[in-house]
Amino acid sequence: MGIFIENLQDKIAFEGRVLELIEKSVEMILDKEGFEYPYDVSLMIVDNVTIREINLEHRKIDKPTDVLSFPILDMFEGVIKSSCGDFDKNEDAIVLGDIIISIEKALEQSLEYGHSFEREMIFLFTHGFYHLLGYDHDIEEREKKMLEKQNIILRELGLERI
């Protein structure tokens, strides 16, 4: 139960502090959302080639992106809308979905934006995680709400944008 992290690339080291920050951010998000159910989330760390293939297959966009989310449970802004979804009977947990992050894209963007790699990874992770909870940026009002939530987590983790 919890977050299952799989590193499917060997180009950039992925360890220590980033893993700790991911786990802390999950705890903080779920606490702030009042989500009290046992859960499973899969996080896959990939390279640009792999995320490009996934982006093409699922979104018909033939370029690498930074993060993709594939929610399983039907939620809207932190509220479960349907009991239909996946349930891991072995773990007795709700499967929220999958997050895929291109670690290469995260490193590129951290350099481009002039902040730490850790900050970019946690920004991308929280972005993906909020998508699993039914948040989106399809309209300006919802985008503002989602970004505010992400920024609160980043600030509390000491990862504010400078």
**Each residue's pLDDT tens digit, 61-119:** 999 999 999 998 888 888 777 765 566 556 678 889 999 999 999 999 999 999 999 99
Evaluate if residue 1 carries a pLDDT over 80: no
84-100 per-position pLDDT tens digit: 556 655 667 888 999 99
Q: What is the pTM of this model?
A: 0.92
For domain 2-156, the CATH architecture is 3-Layer(aba) Sandwich (3.40)
Question: For the packed helices 117-132 and 103-113, what is the interaxial angle rounded to 10 degrees?
Answer: 120
Conformation bin of residue 111: beta by default, left when phi > 0, alpha when psi is -120 to 50: alpha
Residue pair 39/1 in contact (Cβ under 8 Å)? The answer is yes
108-112 CB contacts, 8 Å cutoff, 24+ apart: 109/66
Cβ contacts of 39 within 8 Å, gap of 6 or more = 1, 2, 30, 93, 94, 95, 96
Domain chopping of the chain, boundaries:
2-156
